[in-house]
Structure 1
Amino acid sequence: MTTPADYVHGYSTHETRRLGDQADTLAALLHSGVAYPAGSRVLEVGCGVGAQTVHLVTASPEAHFTAVDISADSLAQARTRVTKYAPDAHISWHQANLLELPFSDAEFDHVFVCFVLEHLTVPGRALTALRRVLRPGGTLTLIEGDHGSTFFHPDSAYAHAVIDCQIQLQATAGGNALIGRQLHPLVTAAGYEEVAVRPHPVYADRSRPTLVNGFTRNTFIAMIESVRDEALAAGLITPPDWDRGMSDLHRTATGDGTFHYTFFKALAVNPQS
């Protein structure tokens, strides 16, 4: 069994740009309160192309970061991105599987995981594995989305259908695009304490053009558009219904449209014993 599910969004230049748009647009929302003390040892698992890493190291310039990803190509892009935007960051890079981390027990004071569990076939095992490298009393910060939290105006059954295609494809690949709603039981079952999960909603209308462009268009709609060929090949939807759904989804980013999505952030502590 492979630990990570297939990355349903792919590794294209388009996807790299989408991840950057997402991280930059949502930085204030998702990274609020995420700052680590000087000298603390912080592990970011599944750093990908470094879209979140840049914001982490910028907010905690005196912390010592270790960034891990299973993809060598993604790590190379992450290193380039961080070198460009935060050249003085204290950071080391490692290619590794999350379940086989090459670190000592209790090596880190804090662990940060963002948009990773949704792509894993065994998220509970991953959370348990992270406890090994997190010192007793150390903290876990975990951020995930939930595509089932999406609603919009004008409403459209066709738009919901194309979103459901992405959810189904991710499930077929071994992931879970609805994992946000499951964070509290997952983290608790993995043995963490003081687990607190809070929703972080994103709402966009024409009075918030940065969110309309950065999130509705360039993050969410771009993500759905990227699975068109796979959805049609799998017979999940007909071409006319796909085109109607995408047209209706794009309308939510126009003058009379609105769009809502909810992220979930979990904070937890590794028990002292």
Structure 2
Amino acid sequence: MTTSSVDTDDIGYVHGYSAHETRRLGDQADTLAALLHSGTAYPAGSKVLEAGCGVGAQTVHLVTASPLAHFVAVDVSADSLERARARVTAHAPDAHLTWLQANLFELPFPDAEFDHVFVCFVLEHLPAPRQALRALRRVLKPGGTLTVIEGDHGSAFFHPDSAYAHAAIDCQVQLQSVAGGNALIGRELHPLVTGAGYEDVMVRPHTVYADRSRPALVNGFTRNTFVAMIESVREEALATGLTTPSDWDRGITDLHRTATDDGTFHYTFFKAVALNPGPVEE
């Protein structure tokens, strides 16, 4: 199966590749590991592809949960792979793991190479997520499993409520759309996965709720993951005329209020698990 019709030059990562973003991704993965990785473990000797491993934030938790599985972690960015290698070496030096720079739409593997495929926070950045899922089906054995995790920025609600805070979030959503992605993709997982030809698709919501009784989530998710992510697009949001400096600053201030003693924050991730019924039709 060929996927060369996808213009991969248009694939953009709206959050950037800074050291700050690397730390944010690590904070997110570590804070949410129990929530997102619960139930995800692979048998000894199985071959698992992590597609779009990025800086290895999720890879650490994958290999720790399945120490006897054999992982291949793929990403299009050489710089991200180097950061991933360093992170996993520091946290799980004995992992059975191979690193490979490759384009998800043009994976250099034979058909039916893997027993399982894991994809986390990747589809949201792709211009053709259904086509990407079909490309992954090609390298997945018949009967093999696909696991996909995505967020949905439309699921964010909080107290105190603020129209300015919602507008700041919407700036990030719009910028991601311009970059070819979809920050609301979580709600679309079931039709995307079934449309790519997978069967027995099950999608479950995984909700994060933070208030002062859960300080680890307030710091690790509300402040250091979600608000930090929105803050990172300030210059681009202003440069593209999506907001004004005063409105933006008001929105970010109001988002930070949700992490105070009187604030609350809610967000939903969606996790899909599915089976590959057989070879992908040309």
So what's the TM-score if we normalise by structure 1?
A: 0.99
Does residue 131 of structure 2 align to residue 125 of structure 1?
yes
Does residue 204 of structure 2 align to residue 198 of structure 1?
yes
Report the secondary structure of 1:144's partner residue: strand
Report the secondary structure of 2:28's partner residue: helix
Partner of residue 240, structure 1: 246
Pairs within 5 Å for 1:253-268? 253-268=259-274
For residues 81 and 149 of structure 1, the distance between their equivalents in structure 2, rounded to whole angstroms, comes to 30
For residues 99 and 256 of structure 1, the distance between their equivalents in structure 2, rounded to whole angstroms, comes to 46
Partner of residue 173, structure 1: 179
For residues 9 and 46 of structure 2, the distance between their equivalents in structure 1, rounded to whole angstroms, comes to 29
Partner of residue 77, structure 1: 83
Aligned partner letter, 1:14: H
Report the secondary structure of 1:170's partner residue: helix
Partner of residue 90, structure 1: 96
- 1:78 is displaced (CA, Å) by 0.5
For residues 237 and 153 of structure 2, the distance between their equivalents in structure 1, rounded to whole angstroms, comes to 16
For residues 122 and 4 of structure 1, the distance between their equivalents in structure 2, rounded to whole angstroms, comes to 10
For residues 187 and 260 of structure 1, the distance between their equivalents in structure 2, rounded to whole angstroms, comes to 25
Pick from 156, 161, 167 the counterpart of residue 167 of structure 2. Answer: 161
Runs of 4+ that moved beyond 4 A: none
Aligned partner letter, 1:93: W
Pick from 169, 185, 195 the counterpart of residue 189 of structure 1. Answer: 195
Report the secondary structure of 1:266's partner residue: strand
For residues 270 and 36 of structure 1, the distance between their equivalents in structure 2, rounded to whole angstroms, comes to 16
Partner of residue 2, structure 1: 8
Does residue 233 of structure 2 align to residue 231 of structure 1?
no
So what's the TM-score if we normalise by structure 2?
A: 0.96
> Any stretches of 5+ residues in structure 1 without a counterpart?
none
Aligned partner letter, 1:136: P
Report the secondary structure of 2:40's partner residue: coil
Report the secondary structure of 1:37's partner residue: coil
Contact 2:54 2:75 in 1 (8 A): yes
Encode CA deviations 1:12-43: one digit per residue, 9 max, x unaligned. 00000000000000000000000000000000
> Any stretches of 5+ residues in structure 2 without a counterpart?
1-6
For residues 246 and 185 of structure 1, the distance between their equivalents in structure 2, rounded to whole angstroms, comes to 34
Report the secondary structure of 1:51's partner residue: coil
- 1:4 is displaced (CA, Å) by 6.0
- 1:3 is displaced (CA, Å) by 6.1
Contact 2:10 2:179 in 1 (8 A): no
Partner of residue 135, structure 1: 141
Report the secondary structure of 2:67's partner residue: coil
Partner of residue 23, structure 1: 29
Give the superposed CA RMSD: 0.8
- 1:5 is displaced (CA, Å) by 2.2
Cα distance change on mapping 1:53 and 1:224 into 2, 3 Å: same
Contact 1:3 1:122 in 2 (8 A): no
